Amino acid sequence: MSILEFSHVSLTMSQTKRRTGTGKSKRLRRFAGETKRQVIPVVNDLSFSVQAGQSIALVGGKALARTSILRLAAGTLIPDSGTVTRSEPIVPMIGIARGFGRGYTVRQNIYLVGGILGLTPDQVEQRIPQITEFADLKSILDRHLGAAPASTRQKLAWSIAMSLDARFYAVDQTLVVGERDFRQKCWTHVDQLREQGATFIISADNSKVYRRFCDRALYFSHGKLEADTTVAAALALARKARHAARDSED
């Protein structure tokens, strides 16, 4: 039985570009900073299903399209047409660290992001010891996040999201984060979740993550699903597409 179903899903976005051209009037518009707006297709008539316990790699296409698919899956974005059906709540591990407030303490930020991810204040309170122990931030719990390095914010965001003990995660670039020791902790945790039947749909620039963790791949080109295949086959298609693009530029 499918726990996630995309049926003929399409999505467009508005994009603003500076004027281009070589004519006198076009040059004047360009120098004046005049822009033009155009609507671009991001996802085009996309249909696929996900079964419980699968770990799926999104390969190929633009990062915007892959991130949009994750947002559509989690329900934080709605399609222009088609339907997305889910039978399990999906945790959107997509840019979570950007939701932190630098002027708040670590504790306050846990409540802030935990609330965004659907936790009640009581649920956040219960999870704070687990979150801060995993992220190794107990000693600064009541200090302001301030100018903490990106790695600290990533570790905190990761630990908050994983404290939900969800059955389904949509992950954009953050399956594992931080320095080597912390990344190993992340791997141990997500491997355990997968063994327990959790489902993952992942977009990552590092293909090693796909090879290490995923058992199925969806390969995209120009917003369309071109292949539902193995990770090795999808990565081969992506390499072929990159080589073809470079050859066309020469």
Q: For residue 45, give the CATH number of its domain.
A: 3.40.50.300
| Number of independent structural domains in the chain | 2
Residue 202 near residue 212, CB atoms below 8 Å = no
Question: What whole-number distance in Å separates Cα of residue 96 and Cα of residue 94?
Answer: 5
| Residues 78 and 29 grouped into a single domain | yes
* Per-residue pLDDT reduced to its tens digit, 51-92: 999 999 999 999 999 999 999 999 999 999 999 999 999 999
Q: Is the pLDDT confidence value at 25 over 70?
A: no
Query: The tokens of 242 are what?
Result: 């990159």
In 55-120, which residue ranges form alpha helices assigned H by DSSP?
A: 63-74, 106-116
| Residues 172 and 160 grouped into a single domain | no
| Residues 86 and 182 grouped into a single domain | yes
Question: What whole-number distance in Å separates Cα of residue 43 and Cα of residue 179?
Answer: 34
Residue 190 near residue 175, CB atoms below 8 Å = yes
Global confidence as pTM: 0.88
Q: Say what the pLDDT of residue 174 is.
A: 93
Residue 205 near residue 187, CB atoms below 8 Å = no
Mean pLDDT calculated for residue range 218-229: 94
Domain that holds residue 160: 94-165
Q: Is the pLDDT confidence value at 27 over 80?
A: no
Query: The tokens of 211 are what?
Result: 């090879």
Q: Say what the pLDDT of residue 250 is.
A: 57
Q: Is the pLDDT confidence value at 241 over 80?
A: yes
| Residues 45 and 147 grouped into a single domain | no
